[in-house]
Chain A
Amino acid sequence: MMALQVSELQKSFEGLNVTRRVNLAVEAGERRLIIGPNGAGKTTLFNLITGEIAPDGGSIGLFGDDITRTSVRARAHLGMARTYQIITLFGRDTLLRNVMLALLGLCPRRWNPLIDFERQQDLVEKAEAALARVGLAHLAHRPLAETSYGERRRVEIAMALAQNPRVLLLDEPFAGLSIDERRDVQKLLLAIPRDVTMVMIEHNMDVALEFAEKITLLHFGEVIVEGTRAEVVANPRTREVYLGH
């Protein structure tokens, strides 16, 4: 069964076609890389898949269910998690609280107005574990505002992982990381078990290629090349619109 099935998806912004009849079928457990020049519509495709933008046409399926009309939050409850290219975190809170908010989002306790949030020991422990997974356990109590860019990128990943997703969408997780940080994040992503399906947008080919099993190349909102890593890298069109640039 396909973890993610995007069919004939379309979206335009004020006449500009940003997503043109995109089809994307990602198998359960697959590692898919999405590449394409700046402005190709990669982030928009993620926004359509998570529901943050409504498509003009086409459909989206998640493990066989049509989720085209499902709300953003319901998609999260169905097992979809994402990271943002532009960091979208809670700046006033500590790293621990950021991750705890991610855990709380899928937990019925989120409506409880009477208990003490910070004393929910199970959430604290799970959040600490998620931070440890991305190598940030020692910074758990630091306010996010006092962390570096690379650390915040990893908090993005920790929050998505904490939700224990079935489908994980990563939007340029290596952007702005140092070489050391890149290697750490790469190890972390390669260690994620196969019950998580992963789709990653990434420009950084040295790290991304090792991750990818299949690659989709977007150009002006259209899928122009798709196939295994070797096929896509060897395709002259890839060279023309992307690798050469």
Chain B
Amino acid sequence: MSAVARLITPRAAAIVVALLLLLTLPAWVGNPYYINIASQILFFAVFALALNVLVGYGGLVSLGHAGLFAMAGYTAALLLARGHGHLVADTAALAVTVVTAAVYALLSLRSTGIGFLMITLAIGQILWGIAYRWASLTNGDNGVNVASRPSPFGFSLAGADGFYYLCLVVFLVCVATMAVVVRSPFGASLRGTRDQERRMSALGYNVWLIRFYAFLLSGFWSGVAGLLFLYYNQFISPQIVALTTSAETLLMVISGGTATLLGPIVGAAIVVIMKNVVSAYIVRWNMVLGIIFILIISFMPEGLVPGSARLWAWLRHRWGAGKAQPAAKTGEDGA
């Protein structure tokens, strides 16, 4: 086999095809309504990938990430409303979000498991209360409007196409970052703290600090997703800070498959499509979403992506197709 032929694995081919489809999406989708849905999938995928750093790789289930997502959105919206430029507002928003993530971490990393979940939930609810009740700052229930989207380097983001490409670039950078970090020594350490916390300490690792840094990484990308959400709607209100947002994002991660790169992306696509498309036809779309989740958790408790990989390996084995390699690596913990 030549060197080139060896590079064309099924996986590499799938990535290239997916990239081509994503890059040409506005051309073959056409309708701005659907292009906007694609943008939503991309920034919710970024949010889900951010949450997955803690849930999947750190084994720390947070139910308060809406607070981080909204912290970025609100900070930017309020700075813009006070006349600051986009660059200042967005940079400050990300900085504030990372600091908020640090506060989350300081309070919640005293415990793991249910304790961690409850503390993140509580902080999220406090931030929701602030967004809702501190009207002199946040404009309360009325929310904050953003007059315009930025135009980086003269590239207009006003239309559906332009905004889609912004989301795509951010999404790809996020996926690449996650892929690198997960494979790195830091990523290995984080997974180690998930699997054997006690052994990791005995081996010389600072378990607390590893989790703290993971929280900052998760907070940063939650903030990036929150900014895209703000610019997408050009509006933010307390509704997005509510527990529903945190729960939905957690469902994206769990249904797609924790500790995988593809899982949260698939999960984000399912939730966004259900919310936008199916709700147009079925009034009780929420119930349909619930049923889908119950089915996924019943038949593929590890999530859709690892579950499908398992099913595929089983089918290939069963029908004797391909080489005898029954339990193909499911992508668990890898890409």
Contact A73 B201 (CB under 8 A): yes
Within 8 A of B (CB), among A71-104: 71-73, 76-77, 81-82, 84, 88-93, 97, 100-102, 104
Known: A89-B196, A90-B196, A101-B192. A110 touches B201 (CB 8 A): no
Known: A88-B196, A104-B188. A113 touches B201 (CB 8 A): no
Distance in angstroms from B59 CB to nearest chain A CB is 12
Contact A115 B199 (CB under 8 A): no
**Residue A106 lies at the interface, judged by CB distance under 8 Å to chain B:** yes
Identify which of B184, B195, B207 contacts A117 (C-beta below 8 A). B184
Identify which of B188, B199, B213 contacts A88 (C-beta below 8 A). B199
Q: Which residues of B lie under 8 Å from residue A89 when comparing CB positions?
A: 196, 199
Number of chain B interface residues as a range = 20 to 34
Q: Which residues of B lie under 8 Å from residue A73 when comparing CB positions?
A: 201-207
Chain A residue with Cβ nearest B214: A113
Contact with B along A21-60 (1 / 0, CB 8 A): 0000000000000000000000000000010100000000
**Residue A116 lies at the interface, judged by CB distance under 8 Å to chain B:** yes
Count of A residues near B, CB < 8 Å? 37
**Residue B186 lies at the interface, judged by CB distance under 8 Å to chain A:** yes
Chain B residue with Cβ nearest A109: B185
Known: A73-B205, A73-B206, A105-B205. A111 touches B198 (CB 8 A): no
Known: A73-B204, A73-B205. A84 touches B186 (CB 8 A): no
**Residue A1 lies at the interface, judged by CB distance under 8 Å to chain B:** no
Q: Name A residues whose Cβ lies closer than 8 Å to a Cβ of B.
A: 50, 52, 71-73, 76-77, 81-82, 84, 88-93, 97, 100-102, 104-107, 109-118, 120, 159, 163
Q: A90-B196, A92-B333 are in contact. List 15 more A-B contacts (CB 8 A).
A: A52-B202, A73-B206, A73-B207, A76-B204, A89-B199, A90-B192, A90-B195, A101-B189, A104-B185, A110-B205, A111-B185, A113-B180, A113-B181, A117-B188, A159-B203
21 contacts between A and B (CB under 8 A): A50-B202, A52-B198, A73-B207, A76-B204, A81-B202, A88-B198, A92-B332, A101-B188, A101-B189, A101-B200, A104-B185, A105-B204, A107-B185, A110-B185, A110-B189, A113-B181, A113-B186, A114-B180, A116-B183, A117-B188, A163-B204
